[in-house]
Amino acid sequence: MNDTAKTDKLVSMRQAIAAHVSDGSSVAIEGFTGFICFAAGHEIIRQRRRDLTLIRMTPDLIYDQMIAAGAAKKLIFSYMGNPGVGSLYCIRRAVEKGVPQPLELEEYSHYGMVGRYAAGASRMPFFPLRSYFGTDMIEVNPLIKLLDDPYGTGKIAVVPPLNPDVAILHAQRADRRGNTQIWGLLGMQKEVAFASKHVIVVVEEVVDESVIRADPNRTLIPGLIVDAVVHEPYGAYPSYVQGYYDRDNEAYIAWDKLSQDHGAVVGWLAEWVYGLENHAGFVRKLGQARLDRLKPEPLLAASVDYGRYR
Amino acid sequence: MSELAYTASEMMIVVAARVLEGARTVFVGVGLPNIACNLARHTVAPDIELIYESGVYGARPERLPLSIGDPTLVSGATSVVSMADLFGLYLQRGLVEVALLGGAQIDRYGNLNTTVIGDYHKPKTRLPGSGGACEIAINAQRSFMIMRLKRRAFVDKLDFVTSPGHMTGGDSRARLNLPGGGPELVITDMGVLNFANSDREMQLNALYPGVSPDNVQVEVGWSLRLAEKIDEIAAPSAEELRLIREEIDPSGMYR
């Protein structure tokens, strides 16, 4: 159970990772190609965690970096690519050549992963979905099963619940209790938060509780299930955060080239992760000019009237 | 009208857009399919709603999305939903009329491999995996494949079946009760293939200007069927090329 009574869960990234991610933990840093908390991934590398089971629908650059750093023994996923660019070479090196160490894979389709989170979130024994028929995905993953529908419509595929030890989710804002608001792509963040034993939320802004209460429809994750709140501006760089910053596509393209050589990746990790004290140091090293280029023009929605009833 | 110069990619985009005529919903990927769907919206399918697996319904992207999760898909969209809702309420509910798919390998029945080249447990090349493709191929009402003709892609036998097409042909897909109709067209850089025969086997149906059936056969790893009548598809019009080059993909990213 999370520390629900605690009213102030604001901690540093170092404290949050030290408290909730241990060697051998299963960790889901989620967010569908955006809201990817690179800051948390880098801190896990910096704290030299080992034998993690990394869980993420789209492993993206952050898991490529963590796997190159030797943090993981297993990956649970549904699409392994550098989105819109190409391959994830570090993961491929681990899978194809065992460098720096072998990596066990457990794979699903996207809806299968979403279903695993949904079953985990509502503490159900499985999630039924119309997928996998006639494919080899069933052959290589014994956890995907076909059942007879008890109501007689034929076969249906099922996937088991997934309950990560810890979910790490990036968002625009939260209050100090961890009530978290997200807008833009909602992905699977709600399901993975409720599925996980512990939740760390990482936000661009920490706001007063009144800001949250003024717009309750936007609250995706309640503080009730949140263990730690980390204030980390640009914590999802180089991925997108709706309304705050764009993807730094040059970084994604540069990684495509650099990551093809393990030695170059080791050098990159030394310079950009181990060589820096924290994410604030990373942001300083990047420089404000580069970050300013990623800021979108404003596009405001009309405000809504919730009405006051008393 | 004089001959216009155009690339093979532009021809694929134009053909993919034309076959979306009248479609109401399309499930879109990034890259070339994205350009095709936006071209369709400007031409033959003004009411088409673009659906992205990241959870966007009715996207109106102001730029070419860098990835399937690009915030340009969110800003100005009709609705943004969780992925659980996108796959459950839109796709599995049957609201996706056309899906555009592709892969590293395709066989004669339109089954796709996006998982691995070589043995799964000792891969020669590890590919991205399913993403949403497996359930999209199962649930979309119609599937159109967009792939360049290459012998290493059009193979006699897939190394891995990621997404089911017409399975082993004939009524094998129907017998599994898959809700969607399966592959209908394969749009390539030389011509268009379909599955309009009782075996549901890929057949050459139309060629682009200047291409012969032999040119296609060279790039296919089995003896390719020919439709009774093979049409020639018209080259891109000046307006189609203008829309692609000036409005949809001015940077030429995918051409």
Interface test with A, best of B52, B64, B66, B143 (most A CBs within 10 A): B66
pLDDT tier, B3 (very low <50, low <70, confident <90, very high otherwise):
low
B48, amino acid identity: I
Per DSSP, what are the bridge partners of residue B237?
none
Chain A residues close to B254, C-beta within 8 Å: none
Is some CB atom of chain A closer than 8 A to the CB atom of B253? no
Render the burial of B124-155: b for 16+ CB within 10 Å, e for the rest. eebbbbbbbbbbbbbbbbbbbbbbbbeeebbb
- Separation CA B207–CA B198 (nearest Å): 22
- Separation CA B164–CA B167 (nearest Å): 6
Query: In angstroms, what CA-CA distances link B118 with A29, A106, B115, B138?
Result: 30, 18, 10, 24
Whats the size of chain B, residue-wise? 255
Are the Cβ atoms of B178 and A134 closer than 8 angstroms?
A: yes
Are the Cβ atoms of A109 and B56 closer than 8 angstroms?
A: no
Specify the pLDDT at position B130: 97
Q: Which residue has the tokens 């499930």?
A: B27
Are the Cβ atoms of B71 and A242 closer than 8 angstroms?
A: yes
Q: What is the DSSP string of B140-159?
A: SSEEEEE----TTTB-SS-S
Question: What is the residue-averaged pLDDT of chain B?
Answer: 95
pTM: 0.96
Would the pLDDT of B71 be above 70? yes
pLDDT tier, B30 (very low <50, low <70, confident <90, very high otherwise):
confident
Q: What is the mean pLDDT of residues A210-217?
A: 98
**What confidence tens digit (pLDDT) does each residue in B187-215 have?**
999 999 999 999 999 999 999 999 999 99
Are the Cβ atoms of B82 and A191 closer than 8 angstroms?
A: yes
- Separation CA A58–CA A65 (nearest Å): 13
Chain B residues close to A237, C-beta within 8 Å: none
Whats the size of chain A, residue-wise? 310
Chain A residues close to B91, C-beta within 8 Å: 111
Question: What is the residue-averaged pLDDT of chain A?
Answer: 97
Render the burial of A238-277: b for 16+ CB within 10 Å, e for the rest. bbbbbbbbbbbeebbeebbeebeebeebeebbeebbeebe
Reading the block at residue A19, the tokens are 């408290």
Query: In angstroms, what CA-CA distances link A58 with A132, B139, B205?
Result: 19, 22, 37
**What confidence tens digit (pLDDT) does each residue in A54-66 have?**
999 999 999 999 9
Across the interface, of B84, B134, B173, the residue whose CB is closest to A137 is B134
Is some CB atom of chain A closer than 8 A to the CB atom of B170? no
Q: Which of B3, B10, B49, B53 is catalytic?
A: B53
| A80 to chain B, closest Cα gap in Å | 4
* B73, B61 Cβ separation under 8 angstroms: yes
* A184, A239 Cβ separation under 8 angstroms: no
Instruction: Tell me if residue A112 falls in helix, strand or coil.
Output: helix
Would the pLDDT of B1 be above 70? no
- Separation CA A29–CA A188 (nearest Å): 11
Q: Which candidate, B1, B62, B25, B35, places its Cα nearest to that of B187?
A: B35
Going by C-beta distance under 8 Å and a sequence separation of 6 or more, which residues neighbour residue B79? B56, B57, B58
Would the pLDDT of A16 be above 70? yes
**What confidence tens digit (pLDDT) does each residue in B156-186 have?**
999 999 999 999 999 999 999 899 999 999 9
Chain B residues close to A80, C-beta within 8 Å: 126, 128-129
Across the interface, of B80, B139, B172, the residue whose CB is closest to A185 is B80
Are the Cβ atoms of A78 and B56 closer than 8 angstroms?
A: no
Would the pLDDT of A218 be above 70? yes
- Separation CA B22–CA A105 (nearest Å): 42
Specify the pLDDT at position A5: 63
The verdict on whether B53 is a catalytic residue reads yes
Is some CB atom of chain A closer than 8 A to the CB atom of B107? no
Specify the pLDDT at position A4: 53
> 10 Å Cβ neighbour count for A2?
16
**What confidence tens digit (pLDDT) does each residue in A34-90 have?**
999 999 999 999 999 999 999 999 999 999 999 999 999 999 999 999 998 999 999
Chain B residues close to A94, C-beta within 8 Å: none
The reply to whether ipTM tops 0.90 is yes
**Phi, psi (rounded to 5 degrees) for B15:** -65, -45
Specify the pLDDT at position A1: 47
Is some CB atom of chain A closer than 8 A to the CB atom of B130? yes
* B123, A96 Cβ separation under 8 angstroms: yes
Are the Cβ atoms of A95 and B30 closer than 8 angstroms?
A: no
Interface test with A, best of B32, B51, B53, B82 (most A CBs within 10 A): B82
Q: Domains of chain B, with CATH numbers?
A: 8-248 (3.40.1080.10)
Q: Which candidate, A39, A63, A11, A34, places its Cα nearest to that of A240?
A: A34
**What confidence tens digit (pLDDT) does each residue in A247-262 have?**
999 999 999 999 999 9
Is some CB atom of chain A closer than 8 A to the CB atom of B124? yes
Q: Domains of chain A, with CATH numbers?
A: 10-97+163-292 (3.40.1080.10), 110-159 (no CATH)
| A62 to chain B, closest Cα gap in Å | 16
Per DSSP, what are the bridge partners of residue A10?
A229
**What confidence tens digit (pLDDT) does each residue in B129-156 have?**
999 999 999 999 999 999 999 999 999 9
**What confidence tens digit (pLDDT) does each residue in B13-22 have?**
999 999 999 9
- Separation CA B38–CA A155 (nearest Å): 37
- Separation CA B161–CA B152 (nearest Å): 15
Specify the pLDDT at position B123: 92
Specify the pLDDT at position B15: 98
